[in-house]
Structure formats: structure tokens, C-alpha cells
Structure 1
Amino acid sequence: MIRPALTLSAAIVLSVCIFASGHRLLAEPEDSGHDYPEAASYLVSDDAAADVDAALQRAAANEKRVLLVMGANWCHDSRALAGWLETDRFAQMIAANYELVFVNVGRPQSGDGHNLGIARRYGIEDLPGTPNVLVITGGGELVNRETATTWKNAASRSEDEIFEELVSLAQKAV
């Protein structure tokens, strides 16, 4: 009787911690059939523009950059990138260099886009696929204009390739 109660209590605590921290549940590579961790859900904010503005303020105050990931739940590349970003290796690097913000963009390729004004704010007029990764200084300057919309193959990129690019963008001169 005690064991089922403890199991239930542990499950409730874990669920509350995940909900309170805003993290997505991950499917491990061996569970998903992929060689990358995949986020089970890509969170959607009620006010993505305010989330970006708050991240910019934190980035300016902490001498970091904003890592703005614009993707969607339906997109396996978005979920793959989100999954990598939640691993310990990435989380430590991100905490040291970035303020991370996920923004749902819906399906911009089919005319059902959301929050596209955020990309336009940084001079990105078209999102040809998902995800898109914008690295922005605390002062609001886009660091990676040439590569921001090239992440639609995130699921096929290696962990090291993604990690090295994000480290490089954290240090890139504007």
C-alpha cells in the first residue's frame, strides 16, 4: 500500500515541477526511434512579443544574448532542436550565454503563421521553414541574419554541429 502511494506522490511532484518550470517533457532517443532527444511538446505563449521583450531586458542586464527559437509543435525539426536545448550540455551553455525564448509560428509556409511580426522586427521578412533561430544582442541587434532561417534541418544536424554553432553565435561580433 505504501509503495503505490509513494509512486503516485513522486509522479505528482514531478508533474508539478515540470509544469512550474515551463519545461517540455522529452522523449529519449532510444524511446523515440531518433538519434536526437525530441521535445514532446513545444510550449505556446499567450504573449510571445512580451516574452521576447522580457528576454531582451534580461539579456541587456546580464550581458547575454537572446536565443529566439521560432518553431512549432507539428514540426519534428522544431521538437528536435528544443529537445537538444533541454539536455544538460546545452542547458549549461545556454544559461551562461543566452536568454532562451521559444515562439510558436504556426505554419507560415501554408499561410497560417503566428507571431511573424517578431521575425519582421529583426528584418526577417519570410520564414521558409521551421524552426528559425535568431540570436539577438541585448541591444536588439540580430547577430545571425545570414543563418537565422537555415535551421529547418535541425533534426538531421549533429549534436556537436548545433552546439558549436550556438557557441560561435554567442561570441560573434556584431
Structure 2
Amino acid sequence: MKLLRRKTDQFLKKWRENENRMPLIVKGARQIGKTASIMQFANSNYKNVVAINFVLQQKYKAIFDEGYDVDSITRALTFIDPFIKLEQGNTLIFFDEMQDCPACATSLKAFKIDERYDVICSGSLMGINYREIESNSVGYKEDYTMHSMDFEEFLWVKRYTSYFHVKSGISLR
């Protein structure tokens, strides 16, 4: 199912094309389409997608119990679900609702240093509590704030093309 076109789609595409990409944290208000946009991107751009929702799948919080190195985390993932496929360069690990698992944020430095798998996290701005995070992985992650649909995105959905012709001819001072 094709979802609405969002500005976030363009950002995610550029993020994927960056050879030096870092784990990405997509923040934003609740119910604005973070998960749907990320999953649509993931399924279109990766052979394997490991999607974990820390609210709905509480057992996955334990994947960080043995430490934050990528081998320990991936071993714990495949122990919980032996059908998970992890292939270097072709796998996106998506940690959804990261505000319910502060250890997730600490692991991002290890994923950046390791570079076998791409990682995207998402969370509600209301719920991310940085005081509970052991180490915030500064310099090893990229933050992106997603907003609710704006007027331009609405016009894309409605296929109002004349607006864009007018917009390109207007100069704002």
C-alpha cells in the first residue's frame, strides 16, 4: 500500500545515500506518521527489515542486557526471534517507540562504529527522557524532527499543481 508523500521521504532517501550515515533518530509528536513513513522507506530500500516496537514487544528490551556491542545485540535479537535475517549492508534495524527503552539510545554509538547495519529509531517528543540514557551517543547519531502534514504536503496529496507554478514565481523578501 502506497502512503501519502511526505517531506520525510526525501530526507530518508538522502540519509540512505550518505555513505557516512549515522544511526538516525526520528522524533516528533504522536500520531503524525513516523512509523508509517519509516516502514514504507525501509521496505522499499532494504532487503531485510527488523522492526521492533518497544511498547508492543516489551521482551525486546532485554537485547541490551549483555551490553551494547552489536554482536551481543544481534545475538539476543536472533535468540528471541530465530527468523530474523541480518545481512551486512542490506538490513535496517528499526527501533520504534525508543522512549520506552532508553538503552536503545546508548547502543547507537556501537552501531555507528560497527557499520554492518543501518539503524533508525523513532520516538515521541513527549516521551524521550534523556536523563535515563546512560550515554547519549553524541557525534554518533543524527536527529531529525518530523512534523505533522503541512499545507504543501496536503497539496501534493490533492494534486494541486498550479500552486507550485505560482510558488516558483514568487520571491519572498
TM-score by length of 2: 0.29
- Structure with the bigger RCO (C-alpha within 8 Å, sep 6+) is 2
Greater helix content: 1
TM-score of the pair, normalised by structure 1: 0.29
